[in-house]
Structure formats: structure tokens, C-alpha cells
Amino acid sequence: GVLGDDQKDAVGSSGEAGDNVVCRLLRETQRRGNPMLAITDVCLCEYTDHGHCAPLVDGEADNDAALAKLGRQAVIHAEAGADWVAPSAAMDGMVAAIRRGLDDAGHHQTAIMSYAIKYAGAFYGPFRDAAASAPSTGDRKSYQMDPFRGTDEAIREAELDVAEGADVVMVKPAGPYLDVLSAMRQAVRVPTAAYQTSGEYAMHMAGGQQGWIDLDAVVMESTMAMRRAGADLVITYHAERLARMLATGS
């Protein structure tokens, strides 16, 4: 949800409002009969005035306070028409809290695609600028993953989310962590997703606009690398370009 500053507060209340921008969009796509699978991001960073993914206590993310809010946000998305919810907050226990909230509200068929392996890296800048969701103080290293850790920790995070009820698990960013994606694909028995971030997209686009690379070729090559590493699902800002290329065989 991209909101004005006047709609944000310290605890991300707008994220739980049934008439927020995400819910309105879901209802409008249903009204128009769009033939689509609706997947929504479940987080607090775009709704908090400090840009963190949880309420803060003494400047630190309050993991437990976030869980209930994420569960409620997932429910209002499901009520508005989301087929899948995709929690990206990187809070411990968020998948279990969301699964419990959805089930208690009768949304047993709403799937969860967890941002199970989400690194506190440098590839998110363009999105954070567009959504005005960069942290106003500090960073997200206390709850997102350390990019310099090995694959064992990543696999453990994915396995925990599967045990809590995740139907799909994701690696984000995708391109720099194909080794992690491959290891996760071997470790879990649910579909895997790769998220090609705004930073990856921006580098491709800048290179193409400057004539330094063949943009279409790089887009296809990077996508196939994610698929080869084990991604069943690729999330990318290049989706429209890829759809045209696949439709025309170019």
C-alpha cells in the first residue's frame, strides 16, 4: 500500500483498515472480472510513519506486537479477494500467526507465500523510494537476514516457515542468491519462489537504456537462471516484457 504521510502512524493502523488501498484494488479487480491470481504483500513498513516492519519499543522492532497485526491484515486481504497472502515482514512466527488468523476467520483456502529468506541487503532502494517505506531511523538488520551468512541458516528459516504452514517459500533478492535458492529447493517440499528486486531491475534497465547490454537477452537470461536454480515461481518487474517475449517467441 502506498499511502500519504497523513495515513501513517507508529503502529501501521491503515494496514488493518478494510477500505485501504490494497483492499480497494482487490475489490475493483474482482468487480471487473480480471482473470488473475491475486497475491498481496502483508507487512507494516508501508503503513508505519517510521518505515519499520513492526511497532517499535525503545527503537527496536517489537516482533510479538507485529504478529497479531499481520494476522489481521492477512484476514482483511482475504476478505477483499486475495487468493494468496505474502508476508514480507521477516518477523519470527509470522506464518503461524497468519495461518491461525486466516483459519479462525474461515479462509482455509487462502495460501501463504512467505518471504522466508529475505536479506537485509542493498537491492531494495528503488522500491523503497517509490513506496516511501525506507526506515526513518536505523535499519532492518535486526529482523532481516545477514547477506554474509551461509546457506544453512537460510534453509533453517525456510524449513521453519514450512512447518508453520507456508505453502510457498521465497528467496529475496534472487540474482545474488541463486546458491541459496538452489539449496532451498533441495531442502523443502513446497514450491519455491524467487523475487527479482527493484535494484536488480533498475540495473538491467539502466544498462539497456545506456546501450551497454541487450536488455531483452539479459532479462531472459536472468529469469532462466532463477528457474534453473529451482524457482517454480519468479516475481519480477520485467513481467510484462517477459510476457511479450514469450508470447512472440522473441
List 8, 69, 118, 141, catalytic entry: 118
Query: 1-4 long-range contacts, Cβ below 8 Å, gap at least 24?
Result: 1/46, 1/47, 2/46, 2/130, 2/131, 2/132, 3/46, 3/47
Active site annotation includes 141: no
Instruction: Give me 62's grid cell.
Output: 517489537
Dump the DSSP string for 181-214: HHHHHHH-SS-EEEEE-HHHHHHHHHHHHTTSS-
Query: Is the separation of the CB atoms in 218 and 204 below 8 Å?
Result: yes
Active site annotation includes 69: no
β-strand pairing of 60-61 with 56-57: antiparallel
What's the angle, vertex CA 67, arms to CA 136 and CA 105, rounded to 5? Answer: 130
DSSP state letter for 90: -
| Euclidean distance between CA atoms 113 and 169, whole angstroms | 6
Q: Among all residues, which ones are annotated catalytic?
A: 118, 172
